[in-house]
Structure 1
C-alpha cells in the first residue's frame, strides 16, 4: 500500500515518470503474494494493476496501460463472480478505467461496449 501511495504522491507532484517505479514494484510484490495466497491478495493485485495502468497512461504508454487494465478487469470479474457484493463496485470502476484506456488508444467503439 505504501508503494501505491508513494506513486500517487509522486504523480500528483508532477513526477509522473517517477511514479512508475514504486507502482511497478507494488505490482511485482502483489503478484508474488497473490500467487501464494490468491484469496488474500488478488484484490490488492487488481487494484495495483489499475494504478499502474493509470501511471503508464499518464506517461504515454497507452498499450501497456491497456494490457494491465484488461488484466485488472479479468481479476475483478472472477472476484465479483465469487463475491458480488464485495467486488462488483471494483469491477465497475475497473471497466471504466478500461474504457478510458481503450478510448485513449483510439478504440472508441471498444470503449463504448
Structure 2
C-alpha cells in the first residue's frame, strides 16, 4: 500500500456491485416489485403498476435484470411474462434482504414511543 492515505477499498467506494445494481431508483423499485411478488409471473404492465414506473423504463430495466439472472422470462400463451428467478443466488439474497430489512424496521417501530 502506498502512503496516499487511501486504501484500495476506499477508492472503490461507489464503484462496486451494489451501487451498480441499485444505480437507479427505478431499478430498485422494479426489483422490489419482483421480490414482493416472488412467485408471480408479471407482465410489463403489472411491473409498471407495482413499481410506479413507466413501461419504457420497465423494458429498459428488464433487459439488465434478465442479463444479471435476477429475473427470468416465461412464455405464457404466446405472451412474455417475468418472474423472480428462484434458482438465482442473487435473487434469493435480495428476497432474504428485504425480509430481514422489514423485520428490523418493525423491531425499530416497536421501540418508538408514540
Fold agreement, TM-score > 0.5: no
TM-score, scaled relative to structure 1: 0.29
Larger helix proportion of the pair: 1
- Normalized per residue, which structure has more strand? 2
* Larger gyration radius, structure 1 or structure 2: 2
TM-score by structure 2 length?
Answer: 0.29
Specify which structure has the bigger relative contact order, considering alpha-carbon pairs within 8 angstroms and separated by 6 or more residues: 2
